[in-house]
Amino acid sequence: MTANKNNSKDPLSAEIEAALDGVELQNIDSRSPSGSGAARGGDNKPKPGAKRNTRGMVPGLIVGVHGDDVIVELSPTSQGICPRAQFENEPKVGERSEFTLGGQDPDGLWILSRRELVALAAWDSIEKGSRVEAKVTGQNTGGLELKIGPLPAFMPASQLGLGREDNLAQYIGKTLEVQVMEIDSERRRLTVSRRAILESEREAAREKNMGSMTIGQVIRGRVTRVEKFGAFVDIGGGVEGLLHVSNLSRGHVADPNDVVKKGQELEVMVLKIEEGGKRIALGTKQLEADPWQAVGGRYQVDQVVNGKVVRLTEFGAFVEIEPGVDGLLHVSAMGKERVRRPQDVLKVGEEVSVRIVTIDSARQRLSLSRLDPRGAMIGSEDSVDTKVIDEAVARTQASVPQGTNLGSLFKKAMDKKS
C-alpha cells in the first residue's frame, strides 16, 4: 500500500490538528511520560472521537518499509512516516506500534516518532532500587550526567565511589553499573548511585570474611591511612581495622608515621571484633617478643642505667630503659631537694641516668631513682658507684683494724674512681 498524498483533510487529521493547536512541535518529545499538556506547553487533551490512547500516543499499522523510512497507516485515510532507526528490531509489514505526532510534511504525511514509546517503555520497566547499566555522558559541578537507555540520569559526586572522587572527567564515556535511588517522572530524571552498589558488595565481602575471623588470628594487611591516633589497615574482603598507636610497638611511639607508612604491607593480630565486624582492633606489638620476659636476668637492683623520659605525670615520670620496658621515677626520687612538679626538672625526650630500685617482672613494673643508695644524685661528685664501694670494702675488710672509720673507705673508693 502506498502513502496517501491527498491533502484533503479527513476526520482523523482534523482531530489531530485540533489536538496539536498551539503546541510547539519541537517540545513534543520533551513532555512527561504521562503526556500531560503542561509538559508540552499546550492543550492537547484528546478531543471527542480522537483515536489517541490514554498515554497520548496514536496507534498505527506498518504498511511498508522503504529505505530508511517506515510507512504507517494511522487510519484508512491517513498515513505517516517514521525513521527506521527508531525500531529496536527490524520493522515488518503488518506489525502494530504506537507513535507520537510531529506535524505533517508538504505531502500530507504525518511525521511520526517512536522515541516517546521507547522512553515510556523504559520508564515503565525501571524501579527504585534496581541495578542498571548507565553510560556517563557529561559532568557538572554537582556530579555526573548519564543515560540509562533513552532516559537521562544524574549521579551526585558523593555517590560515585566509597571515597572522595576529585577527577570526575575520567568517567565520561564509561559504562557503570548503578543503582536507581530516586525516580522523578515529572522532571524526567533519575538519580542513581554507584556507591550504594560498592557498599553492598563490601558488606557482603565483610560478612563472608568475618565468618572465618577470630580473635588472636594473625593476618596480613595493607595500611590505607595513617592518623595521629593510629593506622587503618585493609585486612581483605572489604574489611578495615584500626591499629591504634598503643598497639603499634612495645616501644614508645610518639607518631605512627615513624612506624608505618600508607601502602605498607604488614602482619597484624586481631585483638577485638565489635559491632558485627564494623569495629576491629588490630595490633603489631603483640607479635614482638615480650621484653619483660627474663627482664630480671638483664637488670638487677641498684644497677644504674640510661633511659629516656617518655611521659610526665603529677606523681612522677615514666622512663624507658629499653623498647617496651618503662619504669616509674617517682617525684620523691628525682633529687635530693624536694621536687613539687616533675616538669620543673625533667622534660619528655630527655636522657637521664637512673638507678633500679625494685624489679617486679610479673606485674611488669620497675621503680627508679635518680639517687644512689646513699642519697647522692647519680653522676654528681658526691655519688660513688655502689659496686666500686663494695669492692673496696671487700678488698680491705680483712686487713682493716676493727673500728676503722667507714668514711675513710668511702674516700679511698672515690679516690680510686677518680
Query: What is the full per-residue pLDDT of the chain (418 aa) written as tens digits?
Result: 444 444 444 443 343 344 334 433 333 333 333 333 333 333 333 332 335 554 567 888 999 998 888 999 988 888 999 988 888 788 999 998 888 888 888 888 888 887 766 666 666 567 788 888 889 999 888 889 988 777 788 888 888 888 888 888 899 999 999 888 887 766 677 788 999 888 888 777 777 777 778 889 999 999 999 999 999 999 887 688 999 999 998 888 889 998 899 999 999 999 998 877 778 999 998 888 888 888 888 899 999 999 999 999 999 999 998 888 999 999 999 988 888 899 999 999 899 999 999 998 888 899 999 998 888 898 776 665 555 656 665 665 555 555 445 455 555 555 554 4
CB 12 within 8 A of CB 77: yes
- The amino acid present at 354, given as its one-letter code, is V
CA dist 233 and 220 (Å) reads 9
CA dist 172 and 192 (Å) reads 16
CA dist 353 and 371 (Å) reads 10
The pLDDT assigned to 402 comes to 53
CA dist 87 and 100 (Å) reads 14
CB 74 within 8 A of CB 84: no
**CA angle, 271 as apex, 268 and 275 as ends, to 5°?**
120
The pLDDT assigned to 390 comes to 60
Residue in the block written with cell 569495629: 279
Q: Which residues pair with 180 in a beta bridge?
A: 192
The pLDDT assigned to 395 comes to 62
User: What are the strands, taking DSSP E only, across 67-130?
Assistant: 69-75, 78-83, 96-104, 110-113
Q: What 3-state DSSP class applies to 284?
A: coil
CB 358 within 8 A of CB 398: no
CA dist 55 and 57 (Å) reads 6
Q: Which residues pair with 193 in a beta bridge?
A: 179
User: What are the strands, taking DSSP E only, across 202-337?
Assistant: 218-227, 230-234, 240-244, 265-274, 279-283, 304-312, 316-322, 325-330
Residue in the block written with cell 503546541: 23
Burial label, 10 (beta-carbon count in 10 A; 0-12, 13-18, 19+)? middle
Q: Which residues pair with 144 in a beta bridge?
A: 139, 155
Paired sense of beta strands 78-83 and 325-330, if any = unpaired
The pLDDT assigned to 17 comes to 42
CA dist 221 and 266 (Å) reads 6
For the whole model, what pTM was predicted?
A: 0.44
The pLDDT assigned to 251 comes to 80
**In terms of Cα–Cα distance, which of 347, 348, 356 is closest to 300?**
356
CA dist 290 and 324 (Å) reads 8
Q: Which residues pair with 366 in a beta bridge?
A: 359
CA dist 368 and 348 (Å) reads 16
DSSP for 202-220 reads HHHHHHHHHTT--TT-EEE
CA 313 to chain centre: 37
Query: Can you list the domains of the chain with their CATH numbers?
Result: 11-120 (2.40.50.140), 126-198 (2.40.50.140), 214-287 (2.40.50.140), 295-383 (2.40.50.140), 387-417 (no CATH)
pLDDT tens for residues 51-100? 555 456 788 899 999 888 899 998 888 899 998 888 878 899 999 888 88
pLDDT tens for residues 256-277? 998 899 999 999 999 998 877 7
The pLDDT assigned to 10 comes to 47
- The alpha carbon dihedral of 161, 166, 172, 174 has a sign of negative
CA dist 251 and 254 (Å) reads 10
